[in-house]
Amino acid sequence: MPRYIASRLAVTAVMALLATLVIFLIANMVPGDPILAQLGDVAASNKAFVAEWRAKWGLDLPLWERYLVFLKGVLHGDLGISIASQRPVLEDIAQYAPATIELATVGFLLSLLIGVPLGMLAAIKRDSWVDHLARAVSLIGVSSPTFWLAFIMLALFYGGLQIAPGPGRLDPIAFSPPTVTGLFLIDSLLAGDVATFRDAATHLVLPSVVLAAATLGLITRTTRASMLDNLHQDYVRVARAKGLRERRIVNGHVLPNALIPIVTLGGLAYANLLTGAVMTETVFSWPGLGRYTFRSAEALDFPAIMGITLVVALTYLVINLVIDLSYALLDPRVAR
Amino acid sequence: MPDMRAPAPPSTIAATPVLAVSDLRTQFFTDSGVVRAVDGVSFTVGSGETLGIVGESGSGKSVTAQSLMRLLEEPARIVSGSILFQGRDVLAMSHAELRKLRGAGMAMVFQDPMTSLNPVLRIARQVVETMVAHGSFGEKEATERGVKLLGRMGITTPKRAINSYPHQFSGGMRQRVALAMGMSNEPALLIADEPTTALDVTIQAQILELLRELNRDFGTAIVLISHDLGVIAGLCSRVLVMYAGEIVEEGPAEAILSHPKHPYSWALVNAVPRLDREPVAGKKLTAIEGAPPDPLSVTRGCRFAPRCPFRIERCAEHPELLEIGIARKSRCWVTQAGVGLDTPAPAPSPLRDRAKPPQTLSREQRDQEIDPSPLLEVKGLVKHFALPKRGFLEPYRHVHAVDGVDLTVKRGETVGLVGESGCGKSTLARLILRIHRPDAGSILFEGNEIAQAAPAAIRPLRRRLQMVFQDPYASLNSRMTVAQILEEPLRFHGLATTSTECRERIAELLETVRLDPKSGARYPHEFSGGQRQRISIARALAVKPNFIVADEPISALDVNIQAQILNLLLGLQEELGLTYLFIAHDLSVVRHISDRVVVLYLGKVAEVAPAKDLFAAPLHPYTRYLISALPIPDASIERRRERLRLAGEPPSAVDPPSGCRFRTRCPLAERICAEIPPPLIEHGQGHFAACHFPGKF
């Protein structure tokens, strides 16, 4: 087991290094000279001046040396200065990330806590009304476009029925809780501010449901298929022949096997939610990474784009590492 | 049909049976109709008795077994009958009562040990939960008892074993774990559904021995379900023979195996080649024609009549299972009238039916006919496979699948290749056909060196070098019609260019393998297993090869179909002068069909000899064990037989033992065996053995 963990960690480190290389190369392959783009016509025609600027930004160095400089910066948490906001990229990301993490995590938990039991029930009571309901829920979830679902939800529950709050993380007149983690649900509880907690929670309902819809569908279907697969395995018949209770057979024998593919799917789905919430964040005016990404791309803010790309890559790597490690816990055949 | 048959007459074996089944009917309600899988079965099992249920696949024997514990799921339903276990009606039990019965009074062991243990749970939990669920032991006592049970089942380090996961064990070890689970509450009845079918012969012998001991020491009654008469003969005192959902014969094992009183039992007994009997001239086995009836439409008369060589007029009426002697019952008008079945059947096998020169060549005559120049010469063949790395930082490890094998096949002869699973026999076959490229060594086929030849250089040779695979379900493309399957090689090798030529040749091929020449338009799934294997053979024959490698061509088939295919292969050899390399794990089949036999152990040749010499006087201890482990379908012989039991399991081919590979299990092993690998030396006419102490065992 320790060997397995060490080996997975080593793989992750190598992959992270490769990610920085790819990101660096893409940024440096983009046609156009950043120096000429920044200097005026007069300054650009002055060779000595251009050379001085090149030296100042380190652009006179060979590519591999520039990569090392970039890598050193990354390792020190220096992702450069955003052109649009004129602030360090890392600070920007740190400011926007908690909103996304909060939204994605709530959405993910929602799809997991509904999807897994629903899928299990659908498999156990195959072809019953539960199965049909699960099929309908997942079909709607998977096939509704996010922007459409988002607008419908807002129109129905906020505009029409007026039982849900509007866009944003909090009421426009409310104050954010004192920042500890940046996650409003946690910060408000730490501050003992129940009213803000309730406010933040109600604001989370619509966007997290919209975000969770597709994931919920996938998890339900995968859970159902995986359970069905395992319910017909020989070891289940053996467990029955031992005289075990049906509940124990499902929870003790089938579920540990059925969960294995769900861990992979769930992990990747969470990474997707963390990095792909642009649409939902835009409709719900959610001040998260998705909107930051969108704005940076619009403004061709290269340092910010590189920083976000790196963060996305690392998110996937870390989640993959977690998937691999939980595999080893769930399936003894993986780490021998 | 009578509604209720009279209850089974009291068993002569025990006054108070553990289990009394009467008129059990289990049916599958499928979309295409009702399948009467078990159709009015009645029998009893006495306390401490061993009862065998034998029959081919689809006969209803496994469904019967699962019905006893009501383990079947939809669409299967038990529609009528009664199952009394220790006097209590199982079919009337509530779910809670049923749960208390399962795994406590009545336990079951299943066929495939690789899938019947939960892969993600420790052995400890799986053994302990049976005991805890029935409240017979607390968690801690149950664990202690689990360790003892594993030890009793022959697991050498039970303390370590109980904390392991199933994947850390071989099939034989897993079956021991399954037996420990089954025996943990000391049931009165253990149902074993083909418990050794997935295992190698030496391991099978160990498990059967264990079952015998459990029956003797714990007094547990055993119902053993098997298709293998030899397995039944060694363990069971009484036998039921099932056919098409019915019991067709019942009686003491010894009597049924020596004097079957139902034509189906007769066919089963005679279809298998036996180690204790010389093959008859021409080597044809008694194979009955056809296949079991369509389970969806049951005939009104005797269900076996369409295939029966003893058929009489009365067989259009459905016979009852009636007493025909002391403790013997048969469902056959012929034997009920007192006529015996001991004379060989008048039924012509489809092969002899055709006008052909008489096949009366004795083995000696055939030996002389064999052209002495070798067709295939293999020298020092080596193939190692790299295993997937355990981790990013780990080194590669290799399976030494084939590790320096020499082999010669002469024109026109049949060489049998035997060994347990993992010995490298299939890899060797694939190397010879150059499906894999060997790591070292030479392969001379008709004088051409093909060991390292480029694929383009081998392609023309493939015409003369064909293969028949083990699994007739997986080796035919299910989306191609039979005609398309047969046309492909014809076109590819330019043996038929026009459609008319193809059509004629395909019809001819189908006729050669005794299939309807008009069946070319059908798809493989429309055929039975035996018929598919015929199609496989036709595909191999399409290119008119002179050498066929058959990799376990009959091991997925029922015994009767096995006999049909073996007869077909033998007939084709005579007709077409084919040379066979015949791979099998079944020694009696290999002895029956082969001129010479090669015994492989862990990637190396242990012994090579003419078939009759090998079985009469084996020189390598491993060969002796293999022969001794094979059960003989004759209860009296099987009981009297002095048994050699090979202990342990083959070591891993990743890290094979030094010197002689067999030394870790060999009773003769001395220091020299660990130090020097024994060379393959000729000890008699064509009799080679790789052993430092040949024939000393």
Claim to verify: residue B401 and residue B465 sit in the same structural domain: yes
Count other Cβ atoms within 10 Å, centred on residue B159.
10
Task: Determine the residue among B85, B94, B115, B116 to mutate to test chain A binding: the one whose Cβ has the most chain A Cβ atoms within 10 Å.
Answer: B116
Amino acid at B505: R
Interval B512-517 mean pLDDT: 88
pLDDT band at residue B359, thresholds of 50, 70 and 90? very low
* B-chain residue closest to A329, CA distance: B120
Interval B454-472 mean pLDDT: 88
A313 min Cα distance to partner chain B (Å): 21
Claim to verify: residue B394 and residue B473 sit in the same structural domain: yes
pLDDT digits (tens, 9 = 90+) for B228-246: 888 898 899 999 999 999 9
* B518 assigned to some structural domain: no
The torsion angles phi and psi of B399, rounded to 5 degrees, stand at: -90, 120
Considering CB atoms only, which of B115, B133, B393 is closest to A244? B133
* B-chain residue closest to A3, CA distance: B391
- Domains defined along chain A, listed by start: 15-75 (no CATH), 95-330 (1.10.3720.10)
CB pairs under 8 A between A and B: 97
Question: What gap in Å lies between CA B167 and CA B122, rounded to an integer?
Answer: 10
Q: Is B380 left (phi over 0), alpha (psi -120 to 50) or beta?
A: left
pLDDT for residue B652: 84
- Residue A235 pLDDT > 90: yes
- Residue B319 pLDDT > 80: yes
Chain A residues with CB under 8 Å of B108 CB are 238, 241
Claim to verify: residue B347 and residue B377 sit in the same structural domain: no
Task: Write out the residue range of the structural domain in which residue B463 sits.
Answer: 370-478+545-689
Question: What gap in Å lies between CA B406 and CA B143, rounded to an integer?
Answer: 50
CB neighbours of A104 closer than 8 A, spacing ≥ 6?
Answer: A211, A270, A273, A274, A277
* B34 assigned to some structural domain: no
CB-facing half-sphere around the CA of B530: CA atoms within 13 A: 23
pLDDT for residue B600: 93
* B427 assigned to some structural domain: yes
Claim to verify: residue B417 and residue B564 sit in the same structural domain: yes
Interval A75-102 mean pLDDT: 85
CB contact under 8 A, A332 and B101: no
- Residue A226 pLDDT > 60: yes
Helices H, strands E: what count in chain A?
A: 16, 0
CB contact under 8 A, B120 and A242: no
- Residue A139 pLDDT > 50: yes
Q: In the listed set B150, B184, B218, which residue is the last one of a domain according to the structure?
A: B184
Claim to verify: residue B422 and residue B463 sit in the same structural domain: yes
* Element spanning B356, H or E: none
pLDDT band at residue B367, thresholds of 50, 70 and 90? low
Q: Residues of A near B (CB-CB distance < 8 A)?
A: 3-4, 6-8, 10-11, 233-235, 237-245, 248, 252-253, 256-257, 260, 330-333, 336
Measured at the alpha carbon of residue A232, what is the angle toward residues A228 and A233, in degrees to the nearest 5? Answer: 120
Claim to verify: residue B577 and residue B677 sit in the same structural domain: yes
Claim to verify: residue B430 and residue B559 sit in the same structural domain: yes
Question: What gap in Å lies between CA B151 and CA B136, rounded to an integer?
Answer: 20
Asked if B264 and B248 count as a contact pair (C-beta separation under 8 A), the reply is yes
CB neighbours of B635 closer than 8 A, spacing ≥ 6?
Answer: B233, B234, B252, B253, B254, B257, B258
Interval A86-94 mean pLDDT: 87
Give the lowest-confidence range in A304-308, B497-501, B638-642. Answer: B638-642
Considering CB atoms only, which of A3, A235, A240 is closest to B118? A235
B55-80 burial: b if 16+ Cβ within 10 Å, else e: bbebbbbbbbbbbbbbbbeeebebee
DSSP 8-state assignment for residue A233: S
Q: In the listed set B143, B164, B184, which residue is the last one of a domain according to the structure?
A: B184
Question: What gap in Å lies between CA A182 and CA A329, rounded to an integer?
Answer: 31
Q: Residues of B near A (CB-CB distance < 8 A)?
A: 69, 71, 98-104, 107-108, 110, 112, 115-122, 129-130, 133-134, 165, 167, 178, 181, 390-394
Highest mean pLDDT among A30-39, B1-10, B20-29, B345-354: B20-29
For B480-511, the three-class secondary structure string (H helix, E strand, C coil) is CCHHHHHHHHHHHCCCCCCHHHHHHHHHHHHH
Measured at the alpha carbon of residue A110, what is the angle toward residues A104 and A112, in degrees to the nearest 5? Answer: 100
pLDDT for residue B369: 57
Task: Determine the residue among B392, B652, B654 to mutate to test chain A binding: the one whose Cβ has the most chain A Cβ atoms within 10 Å.
Answer: B392
Give the lowest-confidence range in A148-157, B50-59, B634-643. Answer: B634-643
Question: In which residue are the tokens 């030394």 written?
Answer: B663
* B419 assigned to some structural domain: yes
Question: What gap in Å lies between CA B499 and CA B489, rounded to an integer?
Answer: 14
CB neighbours of B369 closer than 8 A, spacing ≥ 6?
Answer: B361, B412
* B246 assigned to some structural domain: no
pLDDT for residue A38: 65
Claim to verify: residue B554 and residue B631 sit in the same structural domain: yes
What's the helix, strand, coil split of chain A in %, to 5? 75, 0, 25
pLDDT band at residue B298, thresholds of 50, 70 and 90? confident
CB contact under 8 A, B120 and A257: yes
First to last CA, chain A: 7
Asked if B439 and B380 count as a contact pair (C-beta separation under 8 A), the reply is no
Asked if B381 and B355 count as a contact pair (C-beta separation under 8 A), the reply is no
- Residue A175 pLDDT > 60: yes
pLDDT digits (tens, 9 = 90+) for A106-120: 999 999 999 999 999
Measured at the alpha carbon of residue B318, what is the angle toward residues B312 and B319, in degrees to the nearest 5? Answer: 80
* B48 assigned to some structural domain: no
Q: In the listed set B184, B204, B236, which residue is the last one of a domain according to the structure?
A: B184
Claim to verify: residue B377 and residue B335 sit in the same structural domain: no
Claim to verify: residue B321 and residue B395 sit in the same structural domain: no
- Counting every residue written for chain A, the total comes to 336
* B76 assigned to some structural domain: no
Claim to verify: residue B174 and residue B127 sit in the same structural domain: yes
pLDDT band at residue B366, thresholds of 50, 70 and 90? low
Count other Cβ atoms within 10 Å, centred on residue B92.
11
Report residue A148 as tokens.
């459409």
**CATH code, domain with B614:** 3.40.50.300
Interval B379-398 mean pLDDT: 82
CB contact under 8 A, B133 and A253: no
CB contact under 8 A, B99 and A245: yes
Farthest-apart Cα atoms in chain B, separation: 77
First to last CA, chain B: 60
Asked if B570 and B352 count as a contact pair (C-beta separation under 8 A), the reply is no
A122 min Cα distance to partner chain B (Å): 17
Asked if A222 and A111 count as a contact pair (C-beta separation under 8 A), the reply is no
Question: What gap in Å lies between CA B318 and CA B290, rounded to an integer?
Answer: 20
Interval A4-32 mean pLDDT: 85
Instruction: Indicate if the alpha-carbon torsion angle B660, B664, B668, B674 is positive or negative.
Output: positive
Mode of pairing for the β-strands spanning B579-584 and B414-418 = parallel
pLDDT digits (tens, 9 = 90+) for B405-454: 999 999 989 999 998 888 888 899 999 999 999 999 999 998 889 989 88
CB contact under 8 A, A245 and B104: no
Chain A residues with CB under 8 Å of B169 CB are none
DSSP secondary structure, A3-59, as one string: HHHHHHHHHHHHHHHHHHHHHHHHHHHSSS-HHHHHS-HHHHH-HHHHHHHHHHHTT
Instruction: Indicate if the alpha-carbon torsion angle B156, B159, B165, B168 is positive or negative.
Output: negative
pLDDT digits (tens, 9 = 90+) for B80-125: 999 999 989 999 999 999 999 999 999 999 988 888 999 999 999 9
The torsion angles phi and psi of B176, rounded to 5 degrees, stand at: -65, -40
Chain B residues with CB under 8 Å of A330 CB are 120
Claim to verify: residue B323 and residue B391 sit in the same structural domain: no
* B194 assigned to some structural domain: no
Chain B residues with CB under 8 Å of A253 CB are 118, 121
What does pLDDT average to over chain A? 86
* A-chain residue closest to B122, CA distance: A332
**Tally of structural domains, chain B:** 3
Q: What is the dihedral of CA B577, B581, B587, B588, to 10 degrees?
A: -10
* A-chain residue closest to B110, CA distance: A238
CB contact under 8 A, B107 and A241: yes
CB contact under 8 A, B115 and A235: yes
